Amino acid sequence: MARICVTGSHGLIGSALSARLRADGHEVVGYDIAADERHDIVDPAALASAVAGCSGVVHLAAVSRVIWGEQDPGACHAVNVIGTRNVLAAASSLREVGGIGGIGEVGGIGEGRGLREVRPWFLFGSSREVYGQARCLPVSESAGLAPLNRYARSKLAAELLVEQAGADGLNTAVVRFSSVYGSVADHPDRVAPAFARLAAEGGALRVDGAGTTLDFTHVSDVVEALSQMVERLSSGRRLPPLHLVSGRATSLSALANLAVRCASGGTVTMAAPRHYDVGRFVGDPARAARVLGWRATTDIREGMERLVEDFAKR
């Protein structure tokens, strides 16, 4: 089994993935500023120390909200672009010591056993936001990239850095997430947990753009796919860019009304859409199905029922 560094290890996806990787038998090195202020991806020295002895890195740390990118573009660029460059540099440096393919594979360096060179790998968590407002739905991974907002532009810039690192010899892969939800510990202003919490509390759900249509994916499905990607990268395989999508469209008005029905409480009010939000996105899951044998299995009704129930219990 491998030793793997997960940046953003305390986030929605990072915490669930870290638990899954440990269950799969891997050693996980968590790296998240939310857990330790010294774990900042803008700190190259701290990153180098964290990834030392790892065979691969799952890079999830980010300014992860569209609205945060609009409010503080400087921080968005520093974390999502400069931070990604730093993590890539730390991962690439693993080649200088030959890499590590598993905890026991380099033991005995001082015992004269020789060092088997294993290519390190890097999995980058990007976003469906990089597609922008696609002309045709469902969107495939080969669609043009036309980011609409600052967050999306930062993610695309980071993808280009990952692509260059791949050309330079690091085994890299890009995975694009789509409206991941499923935990009460998620950012409270993300739309799915916000609606679920307000409905559970009998509050007022504000919909910014009733016709805005998105492709929601449950965190449990996302982690299943990521686990499979890690196994393939750990074995030295290359992966094309993949997005993790359900292939099903859900409007924000439908999501709000679903939350209210699940909770038997709450009210829904409508507001104008935000100018920097993508208005419609539904992804094509065919490539992930072909490459990983993966499909999302949690539909939005089941996922929101669970989430509303979890908020009600809390």
Task: Kindly state the tokens that stand for 65.
Answer: 């909200």
pTM: 0.91
Domain ranges of the chain: 3-313
The strand ranges marked E within the chain are 3-7, 27-31, 56-59, 121-127, 171-177, 180-181, 204-208, 213-214, 217-218, 242-244, 250-251, 267-271
In whole angstroms, how far apart are CA 80 and each of 134, 263, 280, 281, 285? 23, 36, 24, 22, 26
pLDDT by residue, tens only, the chain of 314 residues: 899 999 999 999 999 999 999 999 999 999 999 988 889 999 999 999 999 999 999 999 999 899 999 999 999 999 999 999 999 999 999 864 444 444 333 333 333 344 445 579 999 999 999 999 999 999 999 999 999 999 999 999 999 999 999 999 999 999 999 999 999 999 988 999 999 999 999 999 999 999 999 999 999 999 999 999 999 999 999 999 999 999 999 999 999 999 999 998 899 999 999 989 999 999 999 999 999 999 999 999 999 999 999 999 98
CATH of domain 3-313: 3.40.50.720
Per the listing, tokens 């495939």 go with 140
CA neighbor of 42 nearest in space, from 83, 75, 74, 91: 83
Say if CB 268 and CB 256 are below 8 A apart. yes
Phi, psi of 271 (to 5 degrees): -135, 170
